[in-house]
């Protein structure tokens, strides 16, 4: 392993420093949740949108805000509600009587990091306003196209339990999220630490003290480094086989698209770079398979009635396919 690191083809010094800084910044506030933090950073580096799912009170919104605070970029937040209109997200043209013309007023989607809280509370009409922005990094209003500045990252949260006043996200929109990160309850030890911090009134002060540790240019440099990492052809084939199997699996009503294959490879490269390697291993692909695929596939009604989850099926697929060595 030491000889592999010594012979690295890509200099990962700046990337490793950036990952350490973000991890330490978020770790000052978030107790535990190591997988959540790792996938948040990986999504940022892989240039992918992130969907955070968990019950109320497990720090979904706080985690997203801390990622935003760690970067010196434009941050905007949109609280999705049933009465939210597309113009509330994208902006609208306003008539200016002084010039007798319409002037476009940009909406909150024009940010580098956009936090969408409770994304499943807005109806389909408003959800559709995000499609072009998330995929093409641009929006079209009144026949005019406006580019969104890089980096552009959507961090969305949703509660999987409460269904009253919510709308199921369209499959086409779910497919645009690189990861769906499931945030679990803290352990007993972690919850004791959380309570102790709050009891000592330290949490609010700690959040205020969080400073940006990375600039936009540094993020762009790190992303370029991630793209340059090496992936063996047999690992590209391995990722393709996993996705192909979702399309032929009898337990699934809907398999994953080629966008999922790209997401697996790109996010596996991010995980490799975060661990100081300039090459991807099968373990990197296995690690990202569930957060990349679980929200993109749909169970058959029979399997859903049996109580299985999409994560269970992805695990079965990984166990079925031979790991390349």
- pLDDT, tens digit, for every residue of 11-48? 788 888 888 888 888 877 888 888 888 999 999 999 99
Tell me what pLDDT residue 201 has.
65
155: pLDDT confidence band, cut at 50, 70 and 90? very high
Tell me what pLDDT residue 170 has.
86
Exposed, middle or buried by CB within 10 Å (0-12, 13-18, 19+), for 97?
exposed
Same domain for 164 and 18, yes or no, is: yes
Question: Is pLDDT of 5 > 60?
Answer: no
Asked whether residue 3 is domain-assigned, the answer is no
181: pLDDT confidence band, cut at 50, 70 and 90? very high
Query: What are phi and psi for residue 297, nearest 5 degrees?
Result: -115, 160
**Residues 6+ away with beta carbon under 8 Å from 275:** none
Tell me what pLDDT residue 205 has.
66
- pTM value? 0.88
Q: Quick: pLDDT tens for 247-290.
A: 999 999 999 999 999 999 999 999 999 998 989 999 999 999 99
**CATH number of the structural domain spanning residue 281:** 1.10.8.80
Asked whether residue 2 is domain-assigned, the answer is no
* Average pLDDT estimate for 229-253: 94
Same domain for 219 and 78, yes or no, is: yes
Same domain for 260 and 173, yes or no, is: no
- Residue 261's closest CA among 279, 248, 243, 247? 243
Same domain for 103 and 152, yes or no, is: yes
Asked whether residue 135 is domain-assigned, the answer is yes
Same domain for 146 and 22, yes or no, is: yes
Same domain for 261 and 291, yes or no, is: yes
**Residues 6+ away with beta carbon under 8 Å from 234:** 324
């Amino acid at each position: 392993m030491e000889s592999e690191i010594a012979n690295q083809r890509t200099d990962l010094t700046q990337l490793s420093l950036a990952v350490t800084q973000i991890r330490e910044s978020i770790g000052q506030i978030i107790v535990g949740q190591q997988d959540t933090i790792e996938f948040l950073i990986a999504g940022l580096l892989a240039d992918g949108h992130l969907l955070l799912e968990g019950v109320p009170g497990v720090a979904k919104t706080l985690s997203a805000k801390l990622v935003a605070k760690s970067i010196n970029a434009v941050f905007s937040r949109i609280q999705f509600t049933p009465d939210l209109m597309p113009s509330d997200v994208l902006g609208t043209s306003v008539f200016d009587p002084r010039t007798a013309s319409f002037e476009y007023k940009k909406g909150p989607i024009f940010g580098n990091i956009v936090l969408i809280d409770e994304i499943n509370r807005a109806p389909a009409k408003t959800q559709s306003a995000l499609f072009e922005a998330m995929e093409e990094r641009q929006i079209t209003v009144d026949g005019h196209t406006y580019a969104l500045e890089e980096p552009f990252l959507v961090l969305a949260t949703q509660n999987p339990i409460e269904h009253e006043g919510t709308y199921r996200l369209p499959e086409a929109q779910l497919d645009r999220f690189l990861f769906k990160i499931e945030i679990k309850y803290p352990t007993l030890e972690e919850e004791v630490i959380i309570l102790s911090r709050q009891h000592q009134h330290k949490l609010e002060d700690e959040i205020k003290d969080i400073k940006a540790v990375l600039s936009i240019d540094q993020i762009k440099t790190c992303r370029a480094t991630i793209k340059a990492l090496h992936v063996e052809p047999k690992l590209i084939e391995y990722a393709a086989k996993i996705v192909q199997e979702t399309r032929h699996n009898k337990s699934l009503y809907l398999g994953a698209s080629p966008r999922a294959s790209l997401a697996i490879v790109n996010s596996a490269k991010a995980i490799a770079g975060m661990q100081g390697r300039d090459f991807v291993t099968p373990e990197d692909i296995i690690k990202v398979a569930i957060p990349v695929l679980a929200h993109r596939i749909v169970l058959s009604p029979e399997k859903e009635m049996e109580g299985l989850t999409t994560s269970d099926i992805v695990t079965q697929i990984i166990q079925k396919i031979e790991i390349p060595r």
